Amino acid sequence: MIELVVIIPVYNEEKAIQKNFSIIYQTLLKDQISCHFMIVDDGSSDQTWSKICEIINKYNHVSALRFARNFGKEIALCAGIDHIQAKRYLLMDSDLQHPPQYVKNMITLMNQTKVNIVHGVKKKRGKEKLAYTFIAKSFYKLLQLTTGLHLDNSSDFKLIDAQVANSIRQFKERNLFFRGIIDWVGFESATYHFEVKERRNGSSRFSTIKLIQLAFNSIISYTHKPLYLTIIGGVIFFFISIILGIQTLVRYFLGHSLNGFSTIILLLLFIGSMIMFSLGIIGIYISRIYDEVKQRPRYIISKKIKRL
Ligand code: UDP
Ligand code: MG
């Protein structure tokens, strides 16, 4: 059985992957960590795959998968876990923002504390675009509000053991939020605080739109709590209407004439938008149900190279 598999998702990293991989490889070698590498090419549209093939020819203990198209980093991590059996799995970005020199400490921490999961937590956020930080921060706030998950400064830099990997393999959902499910499965965990490095080469592979989508998807796929918003909205409106009704009655009996044309229009508009809003939330969940019942595969692999 392999002791440790390092799973690295990559997407359009042709310029950096070879250099970054050699740094990761050399660092782990220097720290005497014996491991196998699983590189998952998330359907890159550039020359990343041929670079990965060169890596496989050059280094030992490297396997790789290639997706037929871009399925997203989360699914790439799952595919990596699905395709290889090991005692432990380390999940790591390819851009060196998850510094390989900390892997040793994470392993030591796992050995000492005997936990199943070691979460890498960022000491403080690395240098990012302002929009990125803003979206990330608001996303975590919203997530905390809707799900109670405290994921601020969390990352996908994680060390998990075979038990956790096995439970992750049992998830069949197509829209999956990796950090959410790792939290959801439970088990004993410890946190390791690390310094985020600046991204080597290029900018984040997540555009602002993709990030908003991811944030949205994550909440929807993790929890059905937004559905309760519609009920809460309904209850609030019910009470407002009762209060308004009483007020109208009182004014009527006091002999005031009723003139509320603009109020009625405003109320109509307001209630209309609330109904649309609620329908929208319900609609999103219905579309998710549709996605899941179709039972499409989570990912499609076009190439696979296994060098154990
Ligand atoms: N990545 C991926 N699929 C995607 C986007 C990104 O596999 O659709 C990979 C990317 O190549 C990198 C890692 O996920 O190895 C983290 O991506 P990035 O650095 O762009 O994200 P950030 O650090 O900004 O969260
Ligand atoms: Mg990065």
Residue 229 and residue 176 share a domain: no
Q: Which position has the token pair 């075979």?
A: 162
Q: How many domains, in total, are found in the chain?
A: 2
Work out the pLDDT band at 158, boundaries 50, 70, 90. Answer: very high
Beta carbon of 199 within 6 Å of any ligand 1 atom: yes
Tell me the one-letter amino acid at 68.
A
Residue 240 and residue 195 share a domain: no
CA of 10 to the centre of ligand 2 (A): 10
Q: Single out the residue of 26, 50, 27, 28 nearest to residue 39, CA to CA.
A: 50
Decide the pairing of beta strands 86-91 and 154-161.
antiparallel
Residue 166 and residue 267 share a domain: no
Residue 279 and residue 161 share a domain: no
Digit-coded pLDDT (tens) for 104-139? 999 999 999 999 999 988 887 666 677 777 877 887
Residue 122 and residue 34 share a domain: yes
Partners of 91 in the β-ladder: 7, 158
Q: How far apart are CA 19 and CA 198, in angstroms?
A: 15
Residue 42 and residue 161 share a domain: yes
Which atom of ligand 1 has the smallest separation from the CA of 94? 15
Work out the pLDDT band at 36, boundaries 50, 70, 90. Answer: very high
Q: How far apart are CA 180 and CA 166, in angstroms?
A: 16
Q: Is residue 145 part of a domain?
A: no
Query: Residue 209 — φ and ψ, nearest 5°?
Result: -60, -45
Work out the pLDDT band at 240, boundaries 50, 70, 90. Answer: confident
Q: Is residue 51 part of a domain?
A: yes
Q: Which position has the token pair 């996908």?
A: 156
Q: Please indicate whether residue 23 or residue 175 has the higher confidence score (pLDDT).
A: 23
Beta carbon of 13 within 6 Å of any ligand 1 atom: yes
Residue 176 and residue 243 share a domain: no
Beta carbon of 43 within 6 Å of any ligand 1 atom: no
Q: Single out the residue of 203, 233, 95, 113 nearest to residue 157, CA to CA.
A: 95
Q: How far apart are CA 18 and CA 54, in angstroms?
A: 8
Mean pLDDT of the chain: 86
Q: Is residue 303 part of a domain?
A: no
Work out whether the CA dihedral 238, 284, 175, 207 comes out positive or negative.
negative
Partners of 183 in the β-ladder: none
Q: What local confidence, expressed as pLDDT, does residue 82 receive?
A: 93
Q: Single out the residue of 135, 99, 102 nearest to residue 208, CA to CA.
A: 135
Percent of the chain with pLDDT over 90: 36
Q: Is residue 9 part of a domain?
A: yes
Beta carbon of 80 within 6 Å of any ligand 1 atom: no
Work out the pLDDT band at 143, boundaries 50, 70, 90. Answer: confident
Residue 92 and residue 61 share a domain: yes
What is the CATH classification number for the domain harbouring 125?
3.90.550.10
Contact (CB, 8 A) for 44 and 75: no
CA of 13 to the centre of ligand 1 (A): 9
**Using CA positions, which residue lies closest to atom 24 of ligand 1?**
204
Digit-coded pLDDT (tens) for 281-302? 888 889 888 888 888 899 999 9
Tell me the one-letter amino acid at 249.
L
Enclosing domain of residue 250: 225-293
Q: What local confidence, expressed as pLDDT, does residue 177 receive?
A: 81
Which atom of ligand 1 has the smallest separation from the CA of 9? 7
Residue 257 and residue 129 share a domain: no
Work out the pLDDT band at 257, boundaries 50, 70, 90. Answer: low
Residue 33: CA count within 13 A, CB half-sphere = 24
Q: Could you tell me the pTM of the whole model?
A: 0.79
Work out the pLDDT band at 39, boundaries 50, 70, 90. Answer: very high
Q: Is residue 110 part of a domain?
A: yes
Question: Which residues fall inside 5 Å of ion ligand 2, going by CB?
Answer: 93, 95, 97, 199
Contact (CB, 8 A) for 67 and 300: yes
Q: Is residue 98 part of a domain?
A: yes
Q: Encoding tokens for residue 204?
A: 């984040």
Whether residue 8 is predicted with pLDDT greater than 70 in this model: the reply is yes
CA of 290 to the centre of ligand 2 (A): 32
Residue 244 and residue 188 share a domain: no
